Amino acid sequence: MDPYDSDSSGFEDEDFTETSVLLGYASEELLDDSISHLGGWPTWLDDSTPPPGEFANCKVCNSPMVLLLELHGDLPEHFPDNERRLYIFGCPRKPCNRKPGSIRALRATRKLKSQPAPKKEEKQEPEKEKEEEKKQAEAPKPDLGASLFGATSLTGSVSANQNPFSTSSSSAQASNPFAAPELVGVGA
């Protein structure tokens, strides 16, 4: 009989193998999103004025489509005064599959009443940030090459086209670390 038995748990021989797999678990409970759901009936932003029923009709067979997804799409960082939802409808009939108009999406937005006081504070903060950016732009920028490598600035009295490998002048040869050393005092 084969020594491997698929029904055995493998604990009899106490042979464990360690792996480098790390499992991660969420430290907090995820926020409850009671608005988003798959299927069912849509919950409109304003129940008193739902969109016309023609919006949820299939463009192929003209029959009502079913709700596939209702998604809560609020973006408080970018649109703090808007409530946003996305509704996706699909036709369940097989002849309509993969045809244009058999799946439709509706986007709903509603402006929420907001307090005018936070808007004034928000306007003041960008002005302060603009002033700080102007101050940073006006400040002289440090010469990173000089601070890292001890080189002098190219914008000073030294020419901008200094090449240590060029042989055009004798001063360039003296400053070139790769030039052949001059032999002084060698006579015949």
pLDDT of residue 156 exceeding 60: no
Tell me whether residue 156 is exposed, middle or buried, using C-beta atoms within 10 angstroms of its C-beta: 0 to 12, 13 to 18, 19 or more.
Answer: exposed
Q: How confident is the prediction for the chain on average, in pLDDT?
A: 74
pLDDT more than 90, % of the chain: 19
Kindly give the pairing relationship between strand 103-111 and strand 37-38: unpaired
At 167-179, the pLDDT tens digits run 655 554 556 667 6
Q: What is the per-residue pLDDT for 31? A: 65
Q: In what order do the strands lie in the sheet with 66-72?
A: 37-38, 66-72, 82-90, 103-111
Mean pLDDT computed over 110-128: 64
Beta strands in 52-127 (DSSP E): 66-72, 82-90, 103-111
Put simply, whether the predicted model's pTM sits higher than 0.75 gets the answer no
What are the tens digits of pLDDT across the range 27-66?
776 666 678 888 889 988 888 888 888 888 999 999 999 9
